[in-house]
């Protein structure tokens, strides 16, 4: 009788332990299913290897065919398996030639010409009927981009003023984009008592300029990528749509050191009006174009894929004075492998000299390439306002892949 009770107790304990193990394993499977990305880039001739605490294998649906025929499909599906046999999720694998890039770190001038003009503000106009704002009444909002008025393409504020003035109050068709969607509406200019002329009640911007940092050059194409985030309008916060742009050499003249609650900033000036390259694209991953000169003297290195990146020591190339790019120590504190945006890594500046001179990450350092194990793996994108020693970085594959592809 006593032995029976003991056996029942042992069986209950074993059942409880087994249940706990099953729950833990299921929890791990669910965790990795959510945490791990749905797609990867893998270098030709290599297999997908993940830096995870528990072993996860990637078994390609076409693994046997690829091995037997020595072929490399551009895109295939693989199954991620925990401990080699427990299914986690299906992922997309894109097989690519190993990109070999020249790390940047050079500060560069950015001049962007907008595709159309961006609405940055609106104001009421005093008329005989009272205060009116034609632009607001026709549905236009701040951040919208005006493409044409009365069938004429718009490239500057002067274009708008000329068309509106000559309308004599006649209704005008305005074509514009709102949240990326093209729309049209009827704009009815009004006569301003104060200015003795017809007005639309709108303020626009047709160009922008600034300073950033080059991330990489592709020696096979002369293309470059920089910033690691888009150039946005300072008033609206919207990504600036561009028709083109240029790069220029700059002199870094001063550094405003960053403190908690007050980010620092690189101060500089354009060396001349001479263009060093063309900018073709301004998208969420940065600015991209072709560089004619100023490609630096560093040797080309392989690009590291996101699954090769690990927490711990790394370096950045950045420019903080007239001496050009230098290498500084940082630490990668956290990696968000699934994030497809510009905040894939949390980084911290650990280099004593950089901390002494800048306080950490400052505005203008965006695009500074991040290096680890002899590979270019990403770029600095943002500073934490509450702690300028810390900030975020983007995976280099996001810039080189979708960033360049959209350029």
Q: Give the pLDDT confidence score for residue 11 in this predicted structure.
A: 65
Assigned domain for 111 exists: no
List 159, 233, 351, 382, catalytic entry: 351
Per the structure, the complete domain to which residue 213 belongs is given by 209-405
Phi, psi of 271 (to 5 degrees): -65, -40
Do 395 and 253 fall into the same domain? yes
Do 129 and 267 fall into the same domain? no
> Is 382 a catalytic site residue?
no
Q: What is the pLDDT of residues 114-158, one digit of tens each?
A: 888 888 888 888 888 899 999 999 999 988 999 999 999 988 888
List 155, 159, 229, 382, catalytic entry: 229
Assigned domain for 289 exists: yes
pTM of the complete model:
0.77
> Is 229 a catalytic site residue?
yes
- Provide the CATH number for the domain around residue 224: 2.40.10.10
Do 302 and 382 fall into the same domain? yes
Do 357 and 323 fall into the same domain? yes
Parts of the chain with a pLDDT under 70:
1-35, 39, 43, 45, 47-51, 53-57, 61-74, 84-85, 88-89, 92, 293-296, 402-407
Do 69 and 177 fall into the same domain? no
Question: Rounded to 10 degrees, what is the CA torsion of 41, 44, 47, 50?
Answer: -30
Assigned domain for 261 exists: yes
Assigned domain for 101 exists: no
Please measure the distance between the N-terminal and C-terminal CA atoms of the chain and give it in whole angstroms.
79
Q: Give the pLDDT confidence score for residue 5 in this predicted structure.
A: 63
Strands 107-122 and 242-256 turn out to be antiparallel
Instruction: Give the whole-angstrom CA distance, residue 111 versus residue 211.
Output: 9
Last residue of a domain, one of 177, 200, 223: 200
What CA–CA distances, in Å, run from 47 to 41, 80, 305?
A: 10, 12, 12
Q: Give the pLDDT confidence score for residue 213 in this predicted structure.
A: 96
Instruction: Please report which helix (H) or strand (E) contains residue 382, including its range.
Output: strand 375-384
- In this structure, what token pair is assigned to residue 308? 């090769």
List 60, 155, 159, 366, catalytic entry: 366
Q: Give the pLDDT confidence score for residue 68 in this predicted structure.
A: 33
DSSP of 38-87: SEEEEETT-------SS-EEEEETTHHHHHHHT---SEEEEEEEETTTEE
Do 281 and 348 fall into the same domain? yes
Instruction: Give the whole-angstrom CA distance, residue 242 versus residue 245.
Output: 7
Do 218 and 196 fall into the same domain? no
> Is 366 a catalytic site residue?
yes
Do 55 and 158 fall into the same domain? no
Do 260 and 181 fall into the same domain? no
Instruction: Give the whole-angstrom CA distance, residue 402 versus residue 395.
Output: 11
Judge whether 134 and 187 are in contact, CB under 8 Å.
Answer: yes
Q: Give the pLDDT confidence score for residue 70 in this predicted structure.
A: 38
Phi, psi of 277 (to 5 degrees): 180, 175
DSSP of 363-379: ET-TTPEEEETTEEEEE
Judge whether 174 and 64 are in contact, CB under 8 Å.
Answer: no
Do 80 and 181 fall into the same domain? no
Q: Give the pLDDT confidence score for residue 81 in this predicted structure.
A: 74
Tally of domains within the chain: 3
Question: Could you tell me how many residues make up the chain?
Answer: 407
Q: Give the pLDDT confidence score for residue 87 in this predicted structure.
A: 72
């Amino acid at each position: 009788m006593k032995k029976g009770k003991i056996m029942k107790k042992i069986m209950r304990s074993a059942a409880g332990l087994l249940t706990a193990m099953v729950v833990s394993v299921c929890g791990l499977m669910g965790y990795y299913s959510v945490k791990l990305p749905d797609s990867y880039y893998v270098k030709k001739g290599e297999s997908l290897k993940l830096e995870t605490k528990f072993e996860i294998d990637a078994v390609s649906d076409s693994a046997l065919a690829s091995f037997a025929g020595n072929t490399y499909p551009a895109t295939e599906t693989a199954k991620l398996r925990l401990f080699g046999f427990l299914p986690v999720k299906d992922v997309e694998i894109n097989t690519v030639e190993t990109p070999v890039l020249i790390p940047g770190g050079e500060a560069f001038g950015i001049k962007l010409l907008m595709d159309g003009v961006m609405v940055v503000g609106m104001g009421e106009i005093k008329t005989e009927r009272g205060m009116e704002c034609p632009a607001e009444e026709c549905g236009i909002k701040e951040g919208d981009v005006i493409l044409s008025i009365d069938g004429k393409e718009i490239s500057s504020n002067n274009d708008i003023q000329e068309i509106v003035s000559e309308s004599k109050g006649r209704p005008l068709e305005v074509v514009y984009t709102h949240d990326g969607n093209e729309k049209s509406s009827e704009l009815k200019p009004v006569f301003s008592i104060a200015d003795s002329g017809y007005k639309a009640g709108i303020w626009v911007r047709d160009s922008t300029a600034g300073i950033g940092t080059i991330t990489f050059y592709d020696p096979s194409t002369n293309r470059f990528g920089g910033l690691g985030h888009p150039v946005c309008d300072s008033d609206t916060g919207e990504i600036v749509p561009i028709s083109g742009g240029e790069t220029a050499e700059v002199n870094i003249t001063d550094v405003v050191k960053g403190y908690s609650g007050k980010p620092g900033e690189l101060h500089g000036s354009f060396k001349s009006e001479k263009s060093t390259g063309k900018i073709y694209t301004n998208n969420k991953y940065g600015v991209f174009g072709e560089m004619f000169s100023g490609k630096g003297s560093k040797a080309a290195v392989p690009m590291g894929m996101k699954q090769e990146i690990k927490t711990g020591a790394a370096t950045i190339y950045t420019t903080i004075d007239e001496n050009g790019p230098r290498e500084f120590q940082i630490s990668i504190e956290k990696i968000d492998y699934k994030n497809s945006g510009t905040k894939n890594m949390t980084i911290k500046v650990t280099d004593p000299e950089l901390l002494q001179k800048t306080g950490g990450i400052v505005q203008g350092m965006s695009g500074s390439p991040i290096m680890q194990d002899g590979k270019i793996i990403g770029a600095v994108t943002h500073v934490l306002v509450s702690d300028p020693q810390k900030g975020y970085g983007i995976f280099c594959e996001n810039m080189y892949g979708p960033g360049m592809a959209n350029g």
